[in-house]
Amino acid sequence: MTAADATSEDLDLAAQLVRDAGRLAASMLAEGLETHHKTSISDVVSDADHAAEKLISERLIEQRPDDGLVGEEGARRPGERTWYIDPVDGTYNFLSKIGIWCSAVGLTDPDGLVLGAVYHPVADELWVGGRGHRTTCNGVEVDELADAPLAELSIGSYLPPARLKADTIGGLAPLLNAISGAATVRVIGSGSIELASVAGGRIGASLHVGTLPWDWIPGAALVEAAGGVGRVVEQGGHSWYVAGNAQAVDEITAAIQES
């Protein structure tokens, strides 16, 4: 049985949710925010994260009462279809007034990724795409992702400082082996903008380890809806999240598995 395409109603709702949440967060940032640290100095949360998640979750409860919710800041509700919410992705950038942050939602069903929507307020770019619907940026379809070798592409990733010490760097061998095969590396600090950029052909591929679902699902849906591949590779006791054109994803997968 073929998986059902994303509906235009769900795509329109997702677009509205991320646009409104992103604009709310931007207005709150301009007015001043209280912030809190979660697991580290760079893992922060603000009142804007909570307010934007509340906006999205309340609308979903009202408009999609049978669907489940999983939000970064704690929204939870079971459902066969599940919306994943990242109200402010790139909070460290957001609070540092670095203009690379976004609001993102993704929808899954038992067959996998249904859709993703990402709104980047600073650039005023709205990315939407899903099963049966080519990814668009501000309503314009992106080009289909064509095969290209990793050596000719940039790769987006992140090098966690705590794991760059001599006694722990061995655990990053798959990551280092993979990124060494790329033309260059970009660390931008927002997983959903990074994946949207892959879908749009701006960044060639993306590779991260241990990605959380709200950081993966919205953008991975955009990559797949652009004709690319999103893949999770299990290696060395870790899950490696890879996205890009099919050829690059295969090369990154091989590099991870060789480490």
Q: The tokens 């990402």 sit on which residue?
A: 118
Helices and strands (H and E) in the chain: how many: 7, 15
74: left (phi over 0), alpha (psi -120 to 50) or beta: left
Q: Tell me the C-alpha distance between 85 and 81, whole Å.
A: 13
Which tokens hold the place of 101? 């942050």
125 is in an annotated binding site: no
Which tokens hold the place of 134? 């080519």
Q: Are 191 and 216 in contact (CB under 8 A)?
A: yes
72 is in an annotated binding site: yes
111 is in an annotated binding site: no
Q: Tell me the C-alpha distance between 47 and 58, whole Å.
A: 16
Give binding residues for Mg(2+) as ranges.
72, 86, 89, 215
Give binding residues as ranges.
72, 86, 89, 215
